[in-house]
């Protein structure tokens, strides 16, 4: 018996649609998307029956109807950067808690980072994580593989066994590959296989130089119970001298880490250009790093424009000489650049109280950097919003573990800061959170379009709600947004047409 689901009385939203409509799902795929007002149950039933009969199902189906009551139907979000800590660090997160958090956040697909224990350094390990996640049945996990074996920074032999269909992305996330020669070797192998190299761009020596400043700041913060995720202090009286010393140490660290990101972003792009590979820059956060990505994209656009201009001249010359014109295919170098931004870098300024003490890599940046990041989102330099969901125990956070729990708040943050404040349209947000990551990863997802996977979120873009990290499905409760009022709430999630949240 075949199954169909008709969602009606809805708003429909993706990168090219924004208005009233309805969606018919058959056997886990989007069958049809209708634009206009579909509010009457009888009309909807007649329409669904007619389409199913046209497809030859006749009475060999069961159909469910969902009155969305004005909620927005949008493609499920796709997160290219999460840490589910499984295997090895399941006190922080595991596949079940991570997938429950993801589904509550509207995410149907996530790419998990390989900085687990053991490090994921083979296709076999990655496929085992994917298999375990599939058994849970709460969305799709794509497990990435390390750039160097076991994060040792030297050996790339394991990349020879990978293929892009099972492992579309490799990364050393958590740090960078220190050796440029090793990175070139890895990127060359990735280019040959069509695998994306996702870079945590941070010069390792500069990051090491920043570490003592952070450690000194953390030492003082622990004395006064100041949390390392930008939350409110349990201590009522913190001496001004202590706060000033903390801020000075953090400022020193952040200046070094900004330089680390700038240097490494430029390096990784240049190595990718030489190798002819697709480099994806993780959690971009500084104005200079953004300029590096923008310059690389402009180079690629100019190169393409020059090629087609030359072809036009050649065609014109051929016509003048009455000879056939045979166009040449573009050179297949394979070099391309994409990048992602996180909700916390979009929303928060790292020089403001209390966020100056919110420890994350890369750090929260200056307001000038944040404004440049918003511009990069508007002008298309930024391709993807990814959460860098990084849950930790509260004890680990107190000891300076970088990162926040973020997958359950991402939509609310981005809708509040980007759409409601007029930075971008709702369609552009859908592109950043669904369509573009699907394209980059080669997934049949991310659009409300016939034949696409029926991974669909129902959201209320106007619902105001208060973040309570204690209610997170994630094991990680450290969030700089705890207590914030956001606008935009995920109400339900369907993957392959099956409801998994809400």
Measured distance CA(64)–CA(24) in Å, rounded: 10
The two tokens of residue 344 are: 């916390």
CB 74 within 8 A of CB 13: yes
Lowest mean pLDDT among 14-18, 167-171, 230-234: 230-234
**Average model confidence (pLDDT) for the chain?**
94
Over residues 310-322, the mean pLDDT reads 77
SS3 427: helix
Rg (CA), the chain: 24
pLDDT on residue 80: 98
pLDDT for 369 equals 98
Annotated active-site residue in 79, 176, 383, 388: 388
Residue 328 carries which DSSP code? P
Can you tell me the distance from the alpha carbon of 302 to that of 293, in angstroms, rounded to the nearest whole number?
Answer: 14
Q: What span, in angstroms and rounded, lies between the C-alpha atoms of 499 and 457? A: 9
Q: How far is CA 141 from CA 78, 83, 109, 110, 136, in A?
A: 10, 11, 6, 5, 10
pLDDT tens readout for residues 120-140? 999 999 999 999 999 999 999
Give per-residue pLDDT as tens, 228-265: 998 766 556 889 999 999 999 999 999 999 999 999 99
- pLDDT score recorded for residue 330: 65
Cα angle, residue 102 at apex, residues 99 and 104 outer, rounded to 5° = 110
| Beta-carbon contacts of residue 220 (< 8 Å; ≥ 6 apart) | 226, 242, 245, 246, 249
Residue 338 phi, psi (nearest 5) = -130, 165
Average pLDDT value for residue range 434-460: 98
Q: What is the pTM of this model?
A: 0.95
Region label for 272, one of left (φ > 0), alpha (ψ between -120 and 50) or beta (otherwise): alpha
Q: What is the pLDDT of residue 323?
A: 80
First to last CA, the chain: 25
Give the model's pLDDT for residue 232: 65
- Can 306 be counted among the known catalytic residues? no
């Amino acid at each position: 018996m075949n199954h169909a689901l008709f969602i009606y009385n809805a708003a429909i939203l993706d990168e090219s649609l924004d208005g009233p409509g309805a969606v018919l799902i058959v056997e886990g795929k989007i069958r049809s998307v209708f634009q206009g007002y579909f509010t009457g149950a009888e009309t909807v039933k007649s329409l669904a029956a007619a389409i199913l009969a046209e497809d030859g199902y006749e009475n060999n189906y069961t159909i469910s109807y969902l009155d969305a009551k004005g909620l927005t139907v949008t493609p499920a979000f796709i997160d290219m950067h999460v840490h589910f800590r499984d295997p090895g660090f399941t006190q922080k997160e595991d596949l079940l808690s991570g997938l429950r958090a993801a589904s509550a956040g509207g995410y149907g697909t996530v790419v998990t980072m390989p900085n687990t224990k053991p490090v994921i350094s083979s296709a076999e390990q990655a496929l085992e994580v994917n298999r375990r996640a599939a058994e849970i049945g709460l969305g799709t996990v794509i497990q990435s593989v390390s750039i160097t074996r076991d994060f040792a920074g030297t050996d790339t032999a394991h990349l020879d066994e990978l293929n892009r269909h099972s492992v579309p992305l490799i990364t050393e996330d958590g740090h960078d590959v220190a050796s440029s020669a090793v990175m070139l070797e890895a990127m060359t192998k990735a280019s040959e296989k069509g695998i994306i190299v996702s870079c945590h761009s941070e010069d390792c020596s500069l990051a090491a130089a920043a570490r003592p400043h952070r450690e000194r700041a953390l030492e003082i913060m622990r004395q006064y119970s100041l949390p390392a995720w930008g939350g409110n202090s349990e201590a009522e009286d913190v001496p001004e001298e202590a706060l000033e010393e903390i801020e000075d140490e953090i400022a020193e660290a952040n200046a070094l880490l900004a330089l680390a990101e700038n240097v490494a972003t430029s390096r990784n792009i240049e190595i990718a250009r030489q190798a002819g590979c697709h480099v994806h820059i993780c959690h971009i956060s500084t104005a200079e790093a953004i300029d590096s990505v923008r310059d690389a994209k402009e180079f690629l656009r100019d190169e393409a424009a020059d090629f087609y201009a030359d072809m036009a001249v050649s065609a014109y010359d051929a016509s003048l000489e009455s000879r056939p014109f045979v166009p040449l295919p573009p050179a297949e170098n394979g070099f391309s650049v994409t990048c992602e931004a996180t909700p916390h870098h979009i929303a928060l300024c790292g020089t403001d109280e209390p966020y100056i003490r919110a420890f994350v890599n890369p750090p929260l940046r200056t307001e000038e950097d944040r404004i440049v990041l918003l511009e990069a989102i508007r002008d298309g330099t930024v391709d993807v919003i990814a959460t860098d969901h990084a849950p930790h125990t509260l004890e680990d956070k107190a000891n300076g573990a970088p990162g926040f729990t973020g997958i359950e708040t991402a939509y609310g943050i981005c809708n509040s800061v980007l759409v409601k404040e007029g930075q971008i349209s709702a369609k552009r947000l859908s592109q950043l959170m669904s369509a573009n990551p699907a394209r980059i990863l080669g997934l049949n997802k991310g659009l409300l379009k016939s034949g696409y996977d029926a991974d669909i979120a129902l959201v209320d873009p106007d619902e105001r709600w208060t973040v309570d990290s204690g209610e997170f499905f994630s094991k990680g409760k450290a969030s700089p947004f705890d207590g914030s009022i956001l606008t935009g709430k995920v109400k339900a999630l369907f993957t392959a047409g099956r409801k998994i949240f809400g």
